[in-house]
Amino acid sequence: MNTEKICDVTFGKYSWSQASLPTGHGGLGLRSAAGLSLPCFLSSSFACQGLVNRLLPSLILPHGEATDAWSALHDSSPRQKETQSAWDDLAFRDTLAALLDTPSPWNHCRLLTAQKSHTAAWSKAFPIASVGNLLSPDELRIAIALRNAANIFESTECRCGKFTGWGFTASPALRMRAASPDIQP
């Protein structure tokens, strides 16, 4: 996943589901083409239905298959079928409900906290170094990982094979510098 390479964070299924939510719902606002395609098609199809009926009365738009695909994924359809945001809001609510239905109290609490308006303020600040708003790559990586329960730790073991604990994973740039100290970032 390219987002994992850019952020240097390993997203699991749970953390990617959360990252795809808007920031107001506790996510990062990262959308996938697959997640956008059905709401986009349905809203545009319903929005142009009146015009198509006037121009080509014999043409039947393929709402049926798309609506069936939506019904297989979600319990309800929006009242205002012509706007993509109505379809998106239902999908976000379903994703959020599924994420909140977790056996982990830590994930449940973290997700409820991430939905508060002030917790996404760091993602909306302009990165200006002179006023202290510039996060280092590792600070940004940690902020993304903590917000989305993504993995930034790796298990470490001794040469003898015993598990010694969990360690912070170094970013690729740090790994490269450690392997070759002559390389500058």
Kindly write down the DSSP assignment for every residue of the chain, as one continuous string: -HHHHHHT-B--HHHHHHHTS-GGGTS-----HHHHHHHHHHHHHHHTHHHHHHH-TT----HHHHHHHHHHH-S---S-TT-HHHHHHHHHHHHHHHHHS-S-HHHHHHHHHHTSGGGGHHHHS---GGGT----HHHHHHHHHHHHT-B-EEEEE-TTS-EEEEEEPPPHHHHHHHH-TT---
Quick check: 167 pLDDT over 80?
A: no
More confident residue, 132 or 112: 112
Quick check: 170 pLDDT over 60?
A: no
Q: What is the pLDDT of residue 83?
A: 92
State percent of the chain over pLDDT 70: 84
Quick check: 43 pLDDT over 80?
A: yes
Quick check: 181 pLDDT over 60?
A: no
Q: What is the pLDDT of residue 91?
A: 93
Quick check: 94 pLDDT over 70?
A: yes
Quick check: 63 pLDDT over 50?
A: yes
More confident residue, 80 or 117: 80
Would you state the torsion angle of the CA atoms of residues 149, 141, 25, 34, taken in this order, to the nearest 10 degrees? -90
Record the pTM.
0.71
Quick check: 171 pLDDT over 50?
A: no
Q: How confident is the model at residue 176 (pLDDT cuts 50, 70, 90)?
A: very low
Quick check: 118 pLDDT over 70?
A: yes
Terminal CA-to-CA distance of the chain, rounded, Å?
23
Token reading at 110 = 């973290």
Arithmetic mean of pLDDT, 21-46: 89
User: Helix, strand or coil for residue 60?
Assistant: coil
Quick check: 66 pLDDT over 80?
A: yes
Q: What value does the mean pLDDT of the chain take?
A: 79
